[in-house]
Structure 1
Amino acid sequence: MIDNDKKFSKKVAPAQSARMVETIYGCKWSLTVYQLIANGINRPGQMVKSVDGLTTKVLNSCLKRNIEFGIIDKITYNELPPRVEYEVTPFGEKFIRILDQLETLQEEINESV
């Protein structure tokens, strides 16, 4: 017997994760930064040299935002001259897999149009 009197609560979108996805897609360089790190390019100078149109100022802003979200970690080495590298966090790996799934979904949508 089906209980037709069951009440459901309103389903609400996950605000924080939705904001993260929106912010990352809104930053046209974040996906490129993830690609660079995945290919072993993890120093800011290397990143700027590897991508036409990417400036140090824009890169620093992008990296800062990703650090705040916990997607990327900044590693500072106590050396002279100073050396800084970036790596994807375990949380960032999960987040990037979700972005990859969204990209796959978009490809499927494009194919069906």
Structure 2
Amino acid sequence: MKNNEFLFSRKSAPQRSARMVETIYGCKWSLTVYQLLANNINRPGEMVRSVEGLSTKVLNQCLKKNVDFGILEKREYNELPPRVEYHVTDFGQKFIRILDELEALQGEVSEHFT
């Protein structure tokens, strides 16, 4: 083999998905929002009423991040009064499963290093 022939190229972390995980874990409410959605609480007002300490402003910021990443979709209904609901996308289901795996891994790490 010649010196300038390489079998492998340098592998780097997947930038966008790594940033998504970091952003979601950095948002202290995203995991709570996923829990609410899993329990069929998908309207913002109901979410705020269901979680002590969660404000409308912070929830809206959290929901926007999740919609921008494609984890959640926002459904707006043309009704009076206006109705908005959030739902997990197919991509979001995959992403949440990965977060669940990270949580399980954290449990194993905690057991191993205690």
Pairwise TM-score range, normalised by the shorter structure: over 0.9
Match of 1:55 in 2: 55
- The 1-side partners of 2:50 and 2:63 are apart by 16
Percent identity of the aligned residues?
72
Give CA deviations for 1:2-40 in whole Å, capped at 9, x if unaligned.
xxx753110110000000000000000000000000000
Give, as a single letter, the amino acid of the residue that structure 2 aligns with 1:74. Answer: K
Secondary structure (helix, strand or coil) at the match of 1:87 reads strand
Query: Matched residue of 1:18: which SS?
Result: helix
The RMSD of aligned alpha carbons is: 0.9
Report runs of 4+ in structure 1 exceeding 6 Å deviation: none
Residue 102 (structure 1) aligns with: 102
Matched to 1:37, the amino acid is L
Structure 2 CA distance for aligned equivalents of residues 75 and 6 of structure 1: 50
Structure 2 counterparts to residues 46-85 of structure 1, below 5 A: 46-85=46-85
Write out per-residue CA displacement over residues 15-69 of structure 1, whole angstroms, 9 at most, x where no aligned residue.
0000000000000000000000000000000000000000000000000000000
Give TM-score, length-normalised by structure 1.
0.94
Query: How far, CA to CA, are the matches of 1:53 and 1:6 in structure 2?
Result: 55
Q: Distance in 1 between matches of 2:48 and 2:36?
A: 10
Query: What CA distance in whole angstroms lies between the structure 2 residues aligned with 1:6 and 1:16?
Result: 27
Corresponding residue number in structure 2 for 1:90: 90
Unpaired runs of 5+ in structure 2?
none
Between the aligned partners of 1:77 and 1:53, the Cα distance in structure 2 is 27
Q: TM-score, normalised by structure 2?
A: 0.93
The structural deviation recorded for 1:112 is: 1.0
| Structure 1 unaligned spans of 5+ | none
**Aligned residue number for residue 40 of structure 2:** 40
